[in-house]
Amino acid sequence: MTNWLASINYITGKVGGIRKLILILMAALLGVTILLDVLVVEKIFDPLGYLYIALGTLAVLYGIYPLYTSRRLVGYYWERASQNRLAVAGLAFILFLILLALIGPFFTTDPTATNFEEKNIPPLGFTIEESVYHPETQQSISKTITGSGKHPLGTDNKGRDLLAMIVSGARISLQVGLLATGIAVALGTLIGVTSAYLGGKIDNILMRFTDIMMTFPFFLLLVFIVFIFGPNLAFIVLVIGLTGWTGTARLVRSETLSLRTREFIMAAKALGASDSRIILAHLVPNVISLIIVIATLSIPGVILAEAGLSFIGLGDPSVTSWGMVLRAGQQNLDTAWWVAVAPGVMLFLTVLAFNFMGDGLRDAFDPRSAV
């Protein structure tokens, strides 16, 4: 037992800490699983599952764990952030949205199920007049349609339940927002911290590459790539994540430039710590507050980008997203206004909630701000 613990301690010391060892093991396990998925087994995880595992591991090791070890500081920042009522309201709506996405599918019908006998039913409490052609009299007659509790938010022109589509859209928006932002923030943080710490030619090369990436219009580049390679939700997440890291890299680099000459970094160098250990164990945890704010404020843009792709017909046709529902509602706005209003309101409130929470966190982390 003692030899086994000594071996673990030796390996941990060699690789640069327990977190780095866990990261290497998870990367190796994920790589083997992907190879088995491609070469041997038909399907172990879907692409989004692999993204969840990879980003979840990074979030736990370099996000949640540093916050857990600094619980008193986290409590202090939470006390400051909770004084911002708009931030608290935004957090409450985000938690409601997560709850809706998690348990909503158990209480709603299939969002793709059609029933033309129940098409264009208005929301509960509303009544519309519809002109219907009567084949026997060969005349159009007026028909009154009243909203019912079976479809609280109404149905579209194919009889699909709007509440079920809103629940499905919430799940898709949160998936895209969290996963794509996670990829962009992780990549931008790594590039920004590495560029600032190493400096010299590496800094110059990375920042010039960042400048080149920033010259491309984000949404047009996104549309171009998705149009060429096809609309798939996992691919859309990857494209948004791999093209949306530039702002994060710039901001993290600026923050890291002021940290690399601090005493604790100099002490780590003097003790012989490797560059990778200094970057992952010392610099990244000290920019975590900036990363949290960047991630929170980036999620609304990612959600709107996915909704925009779905609205113009480049979203994944196999899933029901808010952008797709908006597109269907826009085509029938004169006969079923509620189909476009419901996802539009949800998009508006979601973007507003994340922006409110991001502003509150930014003020809480800023010592110059009087919350």
Where residue 140 falls (left for φ over 0; alpha for ψ -120 to 50; beta otherwise) is beta
Based on the domain organization, do 230 and 355 belong to the same domain?
A: yes
Based on the domain organization, do 69 and 138 belong to the same domain?
A: no
Gap between the Cα atoms of 11 and 169, Å rounded: 46
Does 118 reside within a domain?
Answer: no
Burial class of residue 145 in the structure, from the number of CB atoms within 10 Å of its CB (0-12 exposed, 13-18 middle, 19+ buried) = middle
Name, in order, each residue with C-beta under 8 angstroms of 65's C-beta and a sequence gap of 6 or more. Answer: 19
Gap between the Cα atoms of 357 and 77, Å rounded: 13
Query: Looking up tokens 């929470």, which residue turns up?
Result: 357
Domain count across the chain: 3
Indicate the pTM of the whole model. 0.84
Spatial CA neighbour of 347 closest among 313, 278, 299: 299
The whole-number average pLDDT for the span 258-263 is: 84
Based on the domain organization, do 266 and 252 belong to the same domain?
A: yes
Query: Looking up tokens 């779905």, which residue turns up?
Result: 310
Does 326 reside within a domain?
Answer: yes
Based on the domain organization, do 141 and 203 belong to the same domain?
A: no
DSSP letters spanning 56-95: HHHHIIIIIHHHHHTHHHHHHHHHHHTT-HHHHHHHHHHH
Based on the domain organization, do 136 and 150 belong to the same domain?
A: yes
**Residue 155, Cα to own-chain centre: how many angstroms?**
28
More confident residue, 72 or 44: 72
Does 271 reside within a domain?
Answer: yes
Based on the domain organization, do 8 and 83 belong to the same domain?
A: no
In 3-state terms, what secondary structure has residue 226? helix
Q: Which range marks the domain in which residue 17 is found?
A: 1-44
DSSP letters spanning 321-337: -HHHHHHHHHHTTTT-H
Gap between the Cα atoms of 299 and 311, Å rounded: 18
Banded model confidence at residue 285, pLDDT cuts 50, 70, 90: confident
Q: Is the pLDDT of residue 352 over 90?
A: yes
Q: Is the pLDDT of residue 138 over 70?
A: no
Banded model confidence at residue 96, pLDDT cuts 50, 70, 90: very high
Looking at 44, 59, 78, which one is the last position of a domain? 44
Please say whether the beta carbons of 54 and 30 come within 8 A: yes
DSSP letters spanning 300-319: HHHHHHHHHHHHTT-S-TTS
What DSSP character marks residue 152? T
pLDDT of 170: 92
pLDDT of 346: 93
Tokens of 309: 């792709």
- CATH code at 274? 1.10.3720.10
Does 116 reside within a domain?
Answer: no
User: 34-38, 42-46, 186-190 — which is least confidently predicted?
Assistant: 42-46
The whole-number average pLDDT for the span 253-265 is: 86
Strand extents, DSSP E, the chain: 127-134, 139-146
pLDDT of 90: 92
Based on the domain organization, do 205 and 341 belong to the same domain?
A: yes
Gap between the Cα atoms of 347 and 105, Å rounded: 19
Does 119 reside within a domain?
Answer: no
User: 100-104, 201-205, 293-297, 366-370 — which is least confidently predicted?
Assistant: 366-370
Based on the domain organization, do 29 and 53 belong to the same domain?
A: no
Does 370 reside within a domain?
Answer: no
Query: Looking up tokens 């409490």, which residue turns up?
Result: 125
Based on the domain organization, do 89 and 188 belong to the same domain?
A: yes
Based on the domain organization, do 145 and 169 belong to the same domain?
A: no
Based on the domain organization, do 212 and 356 belong to the same domain?
A: yes
Please say whether the beta carbons of 290 and 252 come within 8 A: yes
Based on the domain organization, do 216 and 361 belong to the same domain?
A: yes
Does 237 reside within a domain?
Answer: yes
Does 146 reside within a domain?
Answer: yes
Q: Is the pLDDT of residue 8 over 80?
A: no
